[in-house]
């Protein structure tokens, strides 16, 4: 049985207060208010402890919870303390008879601040209309709460005349209603003030509420017992003196939240009703300037803008015989790599490449891949990497978008040409490379990055990361993925050795781990998805890793699994750094060194800006958000790219002038907030872009690829699985409406998309629908989409049930079902069509090995992607 509903109030009386006048006031007031009922009396007691001692605190707590005598609605207690100082007046009320407001009024009468003749029982029929001065305040509370919490809908509890008031309530009634604020951008101040109040729900109370505690609020200690008002986890006390923080702090600055509410309230009172809600701003100019300063990185230390090829030439002169580049067991020195790049640069000039031309590079992972990049820069041209693993259609679209002068897919054509005099190179601000990212229009968009950005990145990290010529790096990532920019030039511009990792080794955690050991790699760069597999391989491997620095980036990091890594590789032996970055801001923007404590806490902080970089968290009007509030991440400083190739409108939209200094900011489309220590917490995407195994994609590009199929009349794309925190579980599903002559067969649609989209963008399923579900506004209704179905058409039921798998086939079937989460898998079902990806393939290989079968290399799974063919290959 729940405890009786009660209200309790503790009032600290001034030094020298006596119980006699209080007792007389209580008797007089009770005769006036409750002439026919049992009269409450004032009890007096002494506490053998100081007023602020723990013993006194326990006594007061005990008294506030003591049941009332039968037939009494109020108990009053006067407590003296042995220090002879202040005294306390405790009032406890039966919640069924008196409300919280009544206690305040009784306390005011007993202290002589109010005449009991003016505090009478209220009567009449209440309604749900707040006081006119309250409505702007509660509207402001909703707006500021929405800014702090990143919400567009905020229900706020508000005091109103009670519909169900206690029978003996005094003064104003203590009712509650809900102000359900719709804060979407298109709404106005007038719309917000016109929000109707609704009755308080029977279920959970709103998280935020406004409570009117009565006259002289703000000094007394108001104790709320179970099953009593106010019910809100976070409360503002609305009284004639001040607003006060409630039990749940909403800001990291004492009093800051209340000031912001009052500031927005004043704006609501002064601005025209048609003012958009987005115009309301809770910070002063000084507070806004402080937020801008918080996001500025330390100044770059003695960085002079340089060209990449010039810095490399200096490194070559300083250490010509040091190892520079290793691939497949062969190593080039800096002198040899420089000579090979000069030879290829001569071939480029002989082929007609002029300064500023865009040159495609479509080469497998090799020493010539890196040498050709360097050669393009030496020819004063711009390199555009094309991944040979991508479908030919995708590469053709990228080449068309870039307007390439030529594409290098075989360096033999560039060799044997006579040396040509090298003309003066362009400035450090000239473009060095263009890397393409997914585009919502259906075609990849190229990001133009200058030389100076890359050399600034290296200079910004060199001292902190201790990058020297003693380091060995790996080129693990695709040259078309901007993480490779950091790997290649981070190594070569600091005099280190770069080890090129071949395609299949990057997809074999055990093989890659062995390479790191064999080559003595000291600096490793990984996406969190890939590092998870590397950690798994490390747990089962022998040998002490030579790593001293691991850089994680490219996608959000869940720090919790890192605890096992720290068990084997303590922080003082191998430093882990989480970096947030964007292609448009030159790979990396912030850095945070990870610790075991961060792993235990599950921290999502990505650290502070690199020297020379700026990070700001702004609202929809480009203004700094309040402390701790979410907003869009803007990046400024040394890493901001030139813009998008041949996309002036998109460049103007995303690369905007900085309103407070010369320069530009890049609107990232990422959501973030600043933590109290000034570090940035990354909260995900605002727009439709998502990260799939480290690659940034736009579902719009996938949808456009599907719509180019003549058999598709409408298409929708969903990306799910992010909430599981498992990169392998992230899956892309497509829904299409087909023409009648397609007969519902979606397999050709997926096969055609595979010729245009790289594997990380290919939908796991394509489901045919008679029509796409739409909202009342004619937009796609994702909630109305059914569960995805296999892309292949349903096969006719066999006349005889197939025999159950045995031996290796049975083991593989069990493993596939477990890893892929598919309940029924046939012997000829294709692993990739079942939603398989490279991360799942690695897990399958580990699970198969644990069950006693031979290892399953990723290459084998590509060659034999069904249970039948794979089991035959494993066990001939």
Count of domains in the chain?
5
Q: Which of 464-468, 550-554, 699-703 has the lowest mean pLDDT?
A: 699-703
**What average pLDDT does the segment 474-501 reach?**
96
Q: Which of 106-115, 508-517, 580-589 has the lowest mean pLDDT?
A: 106-115
| Residue positions counted in the chain | 876
Do residues 426 and 371 make contact, with C-beta atoms less than 8 angstroms apart?
Answer: no
Tell me phi and psi for residue 240, to 5 degrees.
-75, -10
Q: Which of 68-82, 713-727, 856-870 has the lowest mean pLDDT?
A: 713-727
Question: pLDDT for 306-361, tens place per residue?
Answer: 999 999 999 999 999 999 999 998 999 999 999 999 999 999 999 999 999 999 99
Q: Residues 740, 636: one domain?
A: no
Q: Which of 167-181, 286-300, 320-334 has the lowest mean pLDDT?
A: 167-181
Token couple for 874? 């494993």
Q: Residues 536, 458: one domain?
A: yes
pLDDT at position 446 is 94
Q: Residues 152, 266: one domain?
A: yes
Q: Is residue 380 part of a domain?
A: no
| pLDDT tier at 792, thresholds 50, 70, 90 | very low
Do residues 724 and 558 make contact, with C-beta atoms less than 8 angstroms apart?
Answer: no
Q: Residues 671, 709: one domain?
A: no
Q: Is residue 832 part of a domain?
A: yes
Q: Which of 98-102, 467-471, 519-523 has the lowest mean pLDDT?
A: 98-102
Question: pLDDT for 630-660, tens place per residue?
Answer: 999 999 999 999 999 999 999 999 999 998 8
Q: Is residue 743 part of a domain?
A: yes
- Between 390 and 346, the higher pLDDT residue: 346
| pLDDT tier at 705, thresholds 50, 70, 90 | confident
Q: Residues 641, 779: one domain?
A: no
Query: 799 in the Ramachandran plot: left (φ > 0), alpha (ψ -120 to 50) or beta?
Result: alpha
**What average pLDDT does the segment 164-179 reach?**
66
SS3 labels along 318-355 = HCCCCEEEEECCEEEEHHHHHHHHHHHHHHHHHCCCCC
| pLDDT tier at 199, thresholds 50, 70, 90 | confident
Distance CA 598, CA 577 (A): 11
- Between 202 and 281, the higher pLDDT residue: 281
| pLDDT tier at 33, thresholds 50, 70, 90 | confident
pLDDT at 196 over 80: yes
In the sheet with 221-223, reading across from the earlier edge strand, the strands are 42-47, 74-81, 87-94, 6-13, 221-223
Q: Residues 113, 138: one domain?
A: no
pLDDT at position 163 is 57
Smallest Cα–Cα separation from 554: which of 576, 532, 575, 525?
Answer: 525
- Between 839 and 502, the higher pLDDT residue: 502
Is residue 592 classed as helix, strand or coil in its secondary structure?
strand
Q: Which of 227-241, 564-578, 641-655 has the lowest mean pLDDT?
A: 227-241
pLDDT at position 224 is 30
pLDDT at position 343 is 96
Q: Residues 113, 153: one domain?
A: no
Neighbours of 2 (CB within 10 A): 6
Tell me phi and psi for residue 790, to 5 degrees.
-55, 145
End position of a domain, from candidates 726, 750, 784: 784
Q: Is residue 257 part of a domain?
A: yes
| pLDDT tier at 628, thresholds 50, 70, 90 | confident
- Between 374 and 178, the higher pLDDT residue: 374
Neighbours of 556 (CB within 10 A): 18
Q: Residues 690, 635: one domain?
A: yes
The C-alpha angle with vertex 468 and arms to 465 and 474, in degrees rounded to 5, equals 80
| pLDDT tier at 867, thresholds 50, 70, 90 | confident
DSSP of 746-812: -HHHHHHHHTTS-GGGS-SEEEE-SS--B-TTSSB-GGGPPPP--SSPPPPPPSSPPPPP-HHHHHH
Task: Report the interhelical angle of 134-149 vs 256-270 (nearest 10°).
Answer: 120
Distance CA 484, CA 588 (A): 12
pLDDT at position 723 is 52
pLDDT at position 271 is 94
Neighbours of 636 (CB within 10 A): 25
Q: Is residue 427 part of a domain?
A: no
| pLDDT tier at 415, thresholds 50, 70, 90 | very high
Residues 6+ apart with CB under 8 A from 639: 453, 456, 457, 585, 586, 587, 588, 589, 610, 612, 613
What pTM value is reported for the model? Answer: 0.72
**What average pLDDT does the segment 790-800 reach?**
43
Do residues 99 and 169 make contact, with C-beta atoms less than 8 angstroms apart?
Answer: yes
pLDDT at position 247 is 31
Do residues 258 and 264 make contact, with C-beta atoms less than 8 angstroms apart?
Answer: no
Does the CA dihedral 523-528-529-534 come out positive or negative?
positive
Do residues 588 and 607 make contact, with C-beta atoms less than 8 angstroms apart?
Answer: no
pLDDT at position 645 is 95
End position of a domain, from candidates 695, 721, 748: 695
DSSP of 443-495: S-EEEEEEHHHHHHHHHHHHHHHT--TT-EEEE-S-TTSTHHHHHHHHHHTTT
Q: Which of 12-16, 116-120, 123-127, 686-690 has the lowest mean pLDDT?
A: 123-127
- Integer-rounded Cα Rg, in Å, for the chain is 35
Distance CA 273, CA 557 (A): 44
pLDDT at 824 over 80: no
Q: Is residue 322 part of a domain?
A: no
pLDDT at position 695 is 67
Smallest Cα–Cα separation from 493: which of 320, 640, 303, 310?
Answer: 310
Q: Is residue 306 part of a domain?
A: no
Partners of residue 498 on adjacent β-strands? 325, 473
Neighbours of 800 (CB within 10 A): 5
Domain span including residue 817 = 807-874
pLDDT at position 202 is 59
End position of a domain, from candidates 695, 723, 752: 695
Token couple for 250? 């909403």
Q: Residues 456, 555: one domain?
A: yes
Pick from 69-83, 133-147, 408-422, 467-481 the range whose average pLDDT is largest: 467-481
Average predicted confidence (pLDDT) for the chain:
82
Do residues 436 and 447 make contact, with C-beta atoms less than 8 angstroms apart?
Answer: yes
Tell me phi and psi for residue 660, to 5 degrees.
-115, 0
Percent of the chain with pLDDT over 70: 83
| pLDDT tier at 4, thresholds 50, 70, 90 | low
**What average pLDDT does the segment 81-100 reach?**
83
pLDDT at position 64 is 84
Instruction: For residue 529, give the CATH number of its domain.
Output: 3.40.50.12780
Q: Residues 690, 702: one domain?
A: no
Q: Is residue 362 part of a domain?
A: no
pLDDT at 727 over 60: no
Q: Which of 226-230, 231-235, 511-515 has the lowest mean pLDDT?
A: 226-230
| pLDDT tier at 794, thresholds 50, 70, 90 | very low
Q: Residues 113, 141: one domain?
A: no
pLDDT at position 780 is 65
Separation in Å, CA 318 to CA 158, 183, 314, 656, 799: 73, 61, 6, 41, 76
| pLDDT tier at 450, thresholds 50, 70, 90 | very high
pLDDT at position 125 is 45
Question: pLDDT for 526-570, tens place per residue?
Answer: 988 788 889 888 988 888 899 999 999 988 788 888 888 999 999
Instruction: For residue 86, give the CATH number of its domain.
Output: 3.30.559.10
pLDDT at 248 over 60: no
Token couple for 546? 């030579």
Q: Residues 690, 821: one domain?
A: no
Q: Which of 42-46, 148-152, 168-172, 840-844 has the lowest mean pLDDT?
A: 168-172
Q: Which of 578-587, 654-663, 758-767 has the lowest mean pLDDT?
A: 758-767
Instruction: For residue 742, give the CATH number of its domain.
Output: 3.30.300.30
E strand or H helix at 90, and its extent?
Answer: strand 87-94
E strand or H helix at 139, and its extent?
Answer: helix 134-149
Q: Which of 196-210, 234-248, 590-604, 855-869 has the lowest mean pLDDT?
A: 234-248
Smallest Cα–Cα separation from 126: which of 159, 102, 160?
Answer: 160
pLDDT at position 165 is 61
Do residues 12 and 220 make contact, with C-beta atoms less than 8 angstroms apart?
Answer: yes
- Between 591 and 253, the higher pLDDT residue: 591
pLDDT at 804 over 80: no
C-alpha count within 13 angstroms, C-beta hemisphere, residue 577: 24
């Amino acid at each position: 049985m729940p405890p009786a509903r009660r209200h309790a109030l503790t009032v600290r009386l001034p030094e020298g207060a006596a119980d006699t006048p209080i007792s007389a006031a209580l008797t007089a007031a009770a005769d006036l208010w409750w002439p026919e009922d049992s009269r409450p009396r004032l009890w007096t007691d002494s506490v053998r402890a100081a007023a602020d001692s723990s013993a006194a605190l326990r006594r007061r707590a005990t008294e506030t919870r003591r049941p009332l005598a039968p037939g009494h609605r109020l108990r009053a207690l006067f407590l003296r303390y042995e220090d002879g100082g202040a005294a306390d007046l405790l009032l406890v009320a039966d919640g069924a008879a008196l409300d919280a407001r009544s206690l305040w009024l009784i306390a005011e009468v007993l202290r002589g601040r109010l005449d009991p003749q003016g505090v009478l029982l209220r009567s009449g029929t209440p309604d749900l209309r707040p006081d006119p001065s309250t409505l702007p305040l509660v509207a402001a509370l909703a707006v500021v709460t929405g800014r702090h919490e990143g919400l567009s809908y905020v229900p706020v509890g508000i005091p109103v005349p009670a519909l169900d008031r206690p029978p003996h309530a005094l003064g104003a009634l203590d009712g509650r209603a809900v102000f359900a604020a719709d804060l979407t951008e298109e709404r106005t101040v007038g719309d917000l003030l016109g929000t109707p109040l609704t009755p308080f729900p029977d279920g959970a109370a709103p998280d935020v509420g406004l409570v009117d505690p009565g006259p002289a609020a703000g000094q007394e200690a108001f104790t709320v017992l179970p099953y009593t008002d106010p019910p809100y986890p976070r409360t503002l006390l609305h009284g004639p003196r001040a607003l006060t923080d409630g039990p749940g702090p909403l800001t990291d600055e004492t009093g800051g939240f209340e000031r912001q509410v009052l500031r927005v309230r004043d704006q609501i009172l002064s601005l025209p009703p048609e003012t958009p809600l987005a115009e309301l701003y809770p910070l002063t100019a000084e507070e806004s300037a402080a937020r801008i300063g918080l996001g500025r990185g330390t100044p770059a230390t003695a960085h002079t803008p340089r060209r990449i090829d010039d810095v490399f030439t200096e490194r070559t002169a300083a250490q010509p015989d040091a190892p520079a580049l290793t691939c497949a067991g062969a190593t080039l020195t800096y002198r040899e790599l420089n000579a090979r790049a000069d030879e290829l640069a001569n071939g480029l000039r002989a082929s007609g490449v002029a300064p500023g031309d865009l040159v495609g590079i479509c080469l497998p992972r090799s020493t010539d891949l890196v040498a050709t990049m360097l050669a393009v820069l030496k020819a004063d041209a711009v390199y555009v990497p094309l991944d040979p693993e991508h479908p030919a259609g995708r590469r053709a679209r990228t080449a068309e978008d870039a307007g390439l002068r030529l594409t290098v897919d075989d360096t033999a054509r560039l060799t044997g040409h006579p040396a040509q005099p090298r003309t003066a190179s362009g400035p450090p601000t000239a473009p060095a490379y263009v890397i393409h990212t997914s585009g919502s229009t259906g075609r990849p968009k190229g990001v133009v990055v200058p030389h100076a950005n890359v050399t600034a990145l290296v200079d910004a990290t060199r001292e902190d990361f201790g990058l020297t010529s003693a380091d060995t790096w790996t080129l693990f990532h695709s040259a078309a993925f901007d993480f490779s920019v950091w790997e290649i030039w981070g190594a070569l511009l600091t005099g280190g050795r770069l080890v090129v990792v071949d395609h299949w080794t990057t997809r074999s955690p055990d093989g890659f781990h062995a390479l790191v050991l064999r080559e003595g790699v000291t600096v490793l760069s990984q996406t969190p998805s890939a590092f998870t597999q590397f950690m798994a391989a490390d747990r089962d491997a022998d040998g002490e890793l030579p790593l001293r620095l691991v850089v994680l980036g490219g996608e959000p990091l869940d720090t919790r699994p890192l605890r096992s890594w720290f068990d084997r590789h303590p922080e003082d032996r191998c430093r882990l750094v989480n970096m947030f970055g964007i292609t448009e801001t030159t790979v990396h923007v912030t850095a945070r060194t990870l610790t075991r404590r961060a792993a235990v806490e599950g921290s999502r902080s990505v650290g502070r800006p690199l020297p020379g970089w700026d990070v700001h968290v702004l609202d929809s009007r480009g203004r700094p958000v309040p402390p701790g509030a979410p907003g869009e991440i803007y990046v400024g400083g040394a890493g901001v790219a030139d813009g998008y190739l041949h996309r002036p409108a998109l460049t103007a939209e995303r690369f905007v002038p900085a309103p407070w200094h010369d320069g530009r900011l890049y609107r990232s489309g990422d959501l973030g907030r600043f933590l109290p220590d000034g570090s940035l917490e990354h909260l995900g995407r605002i727009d439709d872009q998502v990260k799939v195994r480290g690659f940034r994609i736009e579902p719009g590009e996938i949808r456009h690829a599907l719509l180019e199929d003549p058999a598709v009349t409408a298409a929708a794309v969903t990306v799910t699985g992010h909430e599981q925190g498992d990169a392998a579980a992230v899956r892309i599903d497509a829904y299409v409406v087909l023409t009648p002559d397609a007969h519902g067969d979606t397999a050709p649609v997926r096969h055609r998309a595979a010729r245009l989209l790289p594997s990380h963008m290919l939908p796991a399923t394509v489901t045919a629908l008679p029509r796409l579900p739409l909202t009342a506004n004619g937009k796609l209704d994702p909630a109305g989409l059914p569960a995805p179905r296999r892309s292949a058409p349903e096969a006719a039921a066999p006349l005889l049930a197939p025999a159950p798998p045995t031996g290796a086939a049975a083991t593989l079937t069990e493993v596939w079902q477990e890893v892929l989460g598919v309940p029924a898998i046939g012997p000829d079902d294709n692993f990739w069509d079942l939603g398989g990806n490279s991360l799942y393939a690695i897990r399958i290989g580990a699970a198969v090995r644990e069950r006693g079968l031979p290892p399953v290399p990723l290459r084998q799974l590509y060659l034999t992607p069904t249970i039948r063919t794979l089991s035959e290959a494993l066990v001939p």
